[in-house]
Amino acid sequence: MTIQSSMMKRYFGTDGIRGSVGTPPITPEFMLKLGWAAGKVFSKYGRGRILIGKDTRVSGYMFESALEAGLASAGVDVLLLGPMPTPAIAYLTRTFKAQAGIVISASHNPYYDNGVKFFSSKGEKLDDLLEVEIEEELNKSISMVGSREIGKVSRVADAAGRYIEFCKSCFPTSYSLTGFKIVVDCAHGATYHIAPNVFKELGAEVIEMGTRPDGFNINENLGSTSPSELVNEVIRSKADFGIAFDGDGDRMIMVDDYGEVVDGDELLLIIALSRKLAGQMVGGVVGTQMSNLGLEEVLLASGIPFIRAPVGDRHVLAELLLNQWELGGESSGHILCLDLTSTGDGIVSALQVIRGMLLGEKPLHQLKKAMIKYPQHTVNVGCKERFVPENYPKISAAVRETERQLNGKGRVLLRPSGTESVLRIMVEGKSHLEVEKLASDLAEVVEESVG
């Protein structure tokens, strides 16, 4: 049985601060103060500079200006990157030796949502202590530095080119994509001017989708969470495969030449097995509580250790660093290759999968057959208060009964969402019908207790 509780901060969730534009805290006033508060915290470690990048949402420009003003008022210099993928901001934060990087994005959410997340000087998500420090400053009144100490603001004109070259450097120079026809779906998001160029410059014929952002169409029926149009285009154009990114480019899924979706667990396995084949597998693989049992079984049978972290890339990263391993990821397609970069990167991850195809001399459809996925079914139950498992013995008993019925051939997971007021109930087993019924029955018990 796996039941997770959540540690709540006032503003920061599992992946920064996120919500509906115009609804607190996603307002210009809050972003101004957030910039100031972050500037105050990072100024404690000496005067430096902070990078700001964003995805293609119309509200990004408004929040960019507010954060910029807040940071400058705290005496911090600011470098503006414009629309850039989240992993690009992590990379550029490292290469510019900045104190921090700020991303304005709501990832795979619709345009009317937005949010902010921070990277440390190492290009990693901020630890909890720094987030708490920023929240403490948010409780204070803004006190501007003197006129001589106001931060300066400038734009980085060649940010896209720098990042494109970095992505290409993560692909072996001995390999080429010449002869491949690839459909690249950018979801009208932050990779629209990056990803197609990376694959073209490596030699591929690229069919572009979702590369005309207008501020409102980000993730609209496209991208990693809506792959049906990509499936249709791969089949129609007889492409070798397709790649779909989410709005901020830190995750991706792929579609093989049969039009079948290849999810994050399958992609993670392909990368791991190709590294083992090349003698480059360092340690094991970190997944999450949502990672499919099929992934775990194949990895262990291949002699590759596997451990699970709580859901969220920051938890995967923490386990990788603790074990000194390099490879981890989530079912959503958020994959970390720490030997190449410090955070999840959709373009870099796709290149590692393609490397596996070239190394094994097999198409994507054949590589994904290495894993047989267990059916999973998830039900969401409204839960407005913090979920403390110990307070609900009836739920614990129902979970134990569900596990008894699975008879050692499945899993049960109860997990509070980091972005919504819901408790996610997931049951995994050998039969689709069985897991759907068990998840539904368990959800009824949970709803009676916490709904």
Q: Which residues are catalytic?
A: 107
Q: How many CB atoms lie within 10 A of CB 432?
A: 12
| Residue 381 parent element (H or E) | strand 376-382
- Among residues 1, 2, 6, which one has the least CA distance to residue 388? 6
Separation between Cα atoms, residue 177 and residue 118, nearest integer Å: 34
Residue 92 buriedness (CB in 10 A; 0-12 / 13-18 / 19+): buried
C-alpha to C-alpha distance for 364 and 239, rounded to whole angstroms: 12
Integer-rounded Cα radius of gyration of the chain: 22
Which letter does DSSP use for residue 430 in this model? S
Work out the angle between the directed axes of helices 86-95 and 159-169 (0-180°, nearest 10).
90
**Cβ(332)–Cβ(251) below 8 Å:** yes
Q: Would you state the structure tokens that stand for residue 345, as one six-digit string?
A: 């990167």
The DSSP secondary-structure symbol of 176 reads -
Centroid of chain to Cα 373: 22
Give the whole-angstrom CA distance, residue 451 versus residue 162.
49
Cα gap 351→358, rounded to integer Å: 10
Please check whether residue 21 is in contact with residue 29, taking contact to mean a CB–CB distance below 8 angstroms: no
Q: Which two tokens stand for residue 144?
A: 């501007």
Is the distance from CB of 31 to CB of 67 less than 8 angstroms? yes
Quote the DSSP letter at residue 240: S
Q: Which two tokens stand for residue 435?
A: 């897991």
Task: Please give the DSSP secondary-structure letter assigned to residue 139.
Answer: T
